[in-house]
Amino acid sequence: MIIGIPKETLPGEARVAMVPEVAARLVNKGFSLQLESGAGLPAGYHDDDYVAAGVEIVDRRQALAAELVVKVRKPSAEEVGGMREGALYVGFVETCNESDQVLQAMFDRGIRPLAMERIPRISRAQSMDALSSQSNIAGYRAAIEAAARYGRFFPLMMTSAGSVKPARVVVLGAGVAGLQAIATAKRLGAEVYAYDIRPETREQIESLGARAIDLDLGEEGSGEGGYARELSDEAKARQQALLAEELARAHVIITTALIPCRPAPVLITESVVKRMREGSVIVDLAAANGGNCPLTEADKVVRKHGVILVGHTNYPSMMAGDASTFYANNIANLLGIMVEQGESGPRLKDLSEDEITRAALMTPAGDSRH
Ligand SMILES: NC(=O)c1ccc[n+]([C@@H]2O[C@H](COP(=O)([O-])OP(=O)(O)OC[C@H]3O[C@@H](n4cnc5c(N)ncnc54)[C@H](O)[C@@H]3O)[C@@H](O)[C@H]2O)c1
């Protein structure tokens, strides 16, 4: 089975879907890998490293024409045009809208998209869960970003030249990214507080040594599959008001509250930003979905009312070497359940048989499996 790995083309994307170390394992299992020349360079992997792992270096046209194409970011129209009819695509598809034109173009040409963001959040699928592997990196990098932008110390400092109190860091949203941001800010010595709408996160927050912020919203925030659900307008207003006091006292806020395919909830209002101390930092991981703070600007770092607002939208790409390794491992583990050994090497199984691949495989609306 031939796997093509084209170079990522979305602006600012430095990851690659396969790294030499993981490629070597797949080659050992009988896969043939064809990588577009230079695809690994932004993540720090040279063509020579891939060749040493048994990967063939090809041009873009050939990488896209493989029977199985693996990528990180959503495919472009050009990429779909270059893929062969009936091919399998494995990568993020990044659409909330099933009438998305690129997705339709894939269906029209019989290309089957297996969306990494649809891998179910079940124990057996943890090693294939790229949303988690990348969110974990985002949480770490967000805390580092906050510490670097904050013009003061995170830890308590007692020196002969004076003493400073630790930074007060508030993390909003204690999912995968939030928990890693909490752990990283704690390791840097900050005093960390965290809040999530799902009450079950309290124990996880406290197990990392942070303090959980309790708010009585008058309604349940837990939704399906471990995700948060959107609050009523009344509860949203109550949440903003109750959070305001905690947030105005924060020196750093790392906010990660996302609801899949919905605009990000506003948790930090402009009036809170105005009350924060000069030089405070807000790292808004929801910037791509409108931000948890309406003053955040996606892909920019801005200063408003004396507060630095960081709106980067692709933290994993800022740590492309490790992010690519985690992603490639997720892909290799997924391939492990997608194929069986045939006489001439690995061959694809019926993807509707396993609950993981069945959930990830996107089919046209109207298809009975949809
Ligand atoms: N294999 C597994 O079992 C597995 C793997 C990964 C994640 N999970 C679970 O999936 C769930 C989602 O994790 P995620 O990191 O993808 O979350 P996410 O990125 O969708 O959201 C981030 C966090 O923001 C919180 N949030 C949303 N709206 C909020 C609001 N208005 N105020 C405060 N917080 C708000 C959410 O509850 C969530 O914890 C979690 O329960 C996580 O433990 C399970």
Instruction: State residue 216's pLDDT score.
Output: 85
Instruction: State residue 228's pLDDT score.
Output: 77
**Residue 227 annotated as catalytic:** yes
Going by C-beta distance under 8 Å and a sequence separation of 6 or more, which residues neighbour residue 1? 30, 31, 32, 67, 68, 339, 345, 346, 347, 348
The atom of ligand 1 lying closest to the CA of 257 is: 24
Instruction: State residue 370's pLDDT score.
Output: 46
Q: Which CATH class is domain 2-118+320-360?
A: alpha beta
**Can you list the residues of the chain whose pLDDT is less than 50?**
370
Catalytic residue among 129, 140, 315, 324: 129
Give the mean pLDDT of the chain: 95
> What one-character-per-residue DSSP string does 9-30 give?
-STT----S--HHHHHHHHHTT
**Residue 132 annotated as catalytic:** yes
- Could you report the per-residue pLDDT of 31-51, keeping only the tens digit for each? 999 999 999 999 999 999 999
Mutate to test the pocket of ligand 1, among 92, 119, 121 (most ligand atoms within 8 A of CB): 121
Mutate to test the pocket of ligand 1, among 170, 196, 267 (most ligand atoms within 8 A of CB): 196
List C-alpha distances in Å: 62 to 3, 49, 88, 205.
10, 20, 15, 48
In the chain, where the domains are located: 2-118+320-360, 136-318
Catalytic residue among 45, 60, 62, 132: 132
Instruction: State residue 124's pLDDT score.
Output: 97
Q: Which two tokens stand for residue 40?
A: 């690994």
Does residue 136 line the site of ligand 1, with CB under 6 A?
A: no
Does residue 337 line the site of ligand 1, with CB under 6 A?
A: no
Residue nearest to atom 28 of ligand 1 (CA): 257
List C-alpha distances in Å: 73 to 98, 131, 150, 165.
17, 12, 31, 42
Fold type of domain 136-318? Rossmann fold (3.40.50)
Query: Quick one: 47 exposed, middle or buried, by C-beta within 10 A (0-12, 13-18, 19+)?
Result: middle
Is residue 191 within a helix (H) or strand (E), and if so which, with residue range? strand 191-195
- Could you report the per-residue pLDDT of 201-232, keeping only the tens digit for each? 999 999 999 999 998 888 877 777 777 778 88
Does residue 4 line the site of ligand 1, with CB under 6 A?
A: no
| Domain 2-118+320-360 and domain 136-318 have a common topology | yes
The atom of ligand 1 lying closest to the CA of 131 is: 16
Does residue 196 line the site of ligand 1, with CB under 6 A?
A: yes
CA-only gyration radius of the chain, Å: 22
Asked if residues 353 and 112 have their Cβ atoms less than 8 Å apart, the reply is no
Does residue 139 line the site of ligand 1, with CB under 6 A?
A: no
**Residue at 93: amino acid letter:** V
